[in-house]
């Protein structure tokens, strides 16, 4: 029985991967790194320290927090133009409120980026029962800490939570937390997501509402 939902942010409610990738590329030029978009793919969903740090290390440099700070500076200045809000995001969130199905947010991104993205969506942070960011946890995905923390703060039971994710590390984290997982094909292909352990895979966030309705229907049979 699904009694609550925990959303990842990037690749689920907004498409900010391109925006943060371009910002990181532009930032790393200050350290004479000529990074490519493909360099960042292995670190998707792991938080910006690893997202940027992994690429810096690939090019032989020790990661410095100032690299991320520079990337965020660029990101915040350009988010209005570069961040893509999925059209289903607000519709799904508003429908869950109508259904009285509580939801939380658990993003590996830092708080500053999460707040920026919520502003891009135009959603009140108070709509979420809890918001947990990469700034709030020690262990990053695929460790389940972020989802377990979100469930705890929101008062959700992990076994009745459905996580919506897009990254392989996020799917693995959700399953390690003992939660169901809907994976969206915004960052990885269907087979990769299923192999990571996803219970459901879709190319559209709206499928969440279908899953919830089907589960309700099964409960009444």
- 176: domain CATH number is 3.40.50.1000
139 & 165 share domain: yes
pLDDT at 17: 86
Give the end of a domain, one of 35, 61, 82: 82
Spot the catalytic one: 10, 15, 39, 110: 10
What is the percent of the chain where pLDDT is above 70?
97
Q: Is the pLDDT of residue 213 over 90?
A: no
Residues 34 and 130 in one domain: no
Neighbour-count burial of 194, counting CB atoms closer than 10 A to its CB (0-12 exposed, 13-18 middle, 19+ buried): middle
The reply to whether 118 and 166 lie within a common domain is yes
Nearest to 180 by CA among 206, 157, 205: 157
Model confidence band, residue 217 (pLDDT cutoffs 50, 70, 90): low
- CA 39 to the chain's CA centroid: 19
Whether residue 168 is found in the same domain as residue 106? yes
Q: What is the CA radius of gyration of the chain?
A: 17
8 is catalytic: yes
**Which candidate in 8, 15, 39, 166 is catalytic?**
8
165: its two tokens:
């994710």
Q: Is the dihedral of CA 96, 98, 99, 101 positive or negative?
A: positive
CA–CA separation, 166 vs 173, rounded Å?
12
Pair type for strands 103-107 and 4-7: parallel
Tens of pLDDT, residues 120-172: 999 999 999 999 998 899 998 999 999 999 999 999 999 999 999 999 999 99
Please state, in angstroms and rounded to a whole number, the distance separating the CA atoms of residues 110 and 25. Answer: 18
| 67 CA to centre of own chain | 21
Mean pLDDT of the chain: 94
Does the annotation count 166 as an active-site position?
Answer: no
> Do 54 and 88 lie in a common domain?
no
C-alpha span between 131 and 145 (Å, rounded): 13
Can you give the pTM of this predicted structure?
A: 0.87
How many folded domains does the chain comprise? 2
For residue 92 the two structure tokens come to 């799904």
pLDDT of residue 221: 46
134 and 186 within one domain: yes
Distance CA 176, CA 52 (A): 25
Task: Out of 26, 56, 82, pick the residue that ends a domain.
Answer: 82
In a shared domain, residues 135 and 202: yes
Give the domain range for residue 203: 4-15+84-219
Please check whether residues 67 and 10 belong to one and the same domain. no
pLDDT given for residue 109 in this prediction: 87
Residues 78, 102 share a domain: no
């Amino acid at each position: 029985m699904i009694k609550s939902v925990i959303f990842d942010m990037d690749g689920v409610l907004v498409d900010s991967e391109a925006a943060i990738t371009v910002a990181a590329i532009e930032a790393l030029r200050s350290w004479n790194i000529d990074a490519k978009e493909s360099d960042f793919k292995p670190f998707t969903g792991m938080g910006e320290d690893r997202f940027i740090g992994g690429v810096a290390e690939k090019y032989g440099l020790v990661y410095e927090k100032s690299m991320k700070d520079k990337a965020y500076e660029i990101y915040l200045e350009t988010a209005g133009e570069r961040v893509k809000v999925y059209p289903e995001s607000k519709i799904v969130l508003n429908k869950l409120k109508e259904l009285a199905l509580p939801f939380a947010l658990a993003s590996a991104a830092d708080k500053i980026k999460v707040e920026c993205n919520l502003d891009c969506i135009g959603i009140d942070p108070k709509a979420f029962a809890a918001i947990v960011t990469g700034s709030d946890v020690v262990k990053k995905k695929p460790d389940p800490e972020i989802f377990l923390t979100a469930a705890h703060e929101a008062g959700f039971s992990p076994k009745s939570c459905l996580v919506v994710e897009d990254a392989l590390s996020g799917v693995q984290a959700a399953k390690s937390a003992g939660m169901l997982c809907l994976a969206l094909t915004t960052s990885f292909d269907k087979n990769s997501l299923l192999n990571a352990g996803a219970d459901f895979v879709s190319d559209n966030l709206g499928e969440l509402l279908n899953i919830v309705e089907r589960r309700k229907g099964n409960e009444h049979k």
